């Protein structure tokens, strides 16, 4: 199973070797998508976690037992083609090529399955054709 989760943590929890333990103790594949830690060492970590269902559940339980709040990634990027002026600025900033420009037609396209919600495209779009959409989901178990 593969799932994208967000972990919210305190300063004390940020000192823990979380990724190391998820990989070593639970044999999970962890891909860090985004992290933000403030000067007080509190913050969040967005990651994609892959492994067997049992390993995944045990790894998430480990994080929760440390007091880390774990939720499924609940935001997605929405591209509004009717608002897009096809300038291609977003494609130059997109690290996963979810937003791409076809050189033959010079048209921008968006493939949501490639998007990791890094938000780099949001500020560069002059028409604001790219937005964040928030879903309400139950916490991962």
Q: Give pLDDT tens digits along the chain (141 positions).
A: 888 898 998 988 888 899 999 999 999 999 998 888 889 989 888 899 999 999 999 999 999 999 999 988 777 888 999 999 999 999 999 999 999 999 999 999 999 888 888 888 988 999 999 988 765 343 333
Output the 3-class SS for 14-59.
HCCCHHHHHHHHHCCEEEEEEEEECCCCCEEEEEEEECCHHHHHHH
CB 109 within 8 A of CB 97: no
Integer CA distances (angstroms), 41 to 9, 38, 68, 70, in order: 9, 5, 14, 17
Residue 119 Ramachandran class (φ > 0 left, ψ -120 to 50 alpha, else beta): left
Taking the whole predicted model, whether its pTM rises above 0.75 is answered as: no
Which domains occur in the chain, in start order? 2-72 (3.30.70.260), 75-134 (3.30.70.20)
pLDDT at 137: 41
Kindly report, residue by residue over 111-121, the tens digit of the pLDDT. 988 888 888 89
């Amino acid at each position: 199973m593969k799932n994208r989760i967000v972990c919210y943590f305190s300063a004390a929890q940020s000192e823990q070797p979380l990724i190391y333990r998820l990989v070593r103790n639970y044999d999970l594949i962890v891909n860090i998508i985004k992290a933000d830690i403030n000067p007080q060492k509190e913050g969040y970590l967005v990651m994609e976690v892959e492994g067997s269902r049992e390993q995944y559940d045990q790894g998430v339980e480990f994080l929760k037992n440390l007091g880390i709040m774990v939720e499924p990634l609940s935001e997605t990027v929405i591209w509004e083609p009717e608002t897009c002026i096809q300038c291609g600025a977003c494609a130059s900033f997109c690290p996963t090529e979810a937003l791409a420009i076809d050189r033959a037609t010079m048209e921008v396209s968006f493939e949501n399955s490639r998007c990791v919600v890094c938000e780099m495209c949001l500020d560069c779009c002059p028409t604001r054709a790219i937005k964040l959409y928030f879903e309400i989901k139950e916490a991962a178990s």
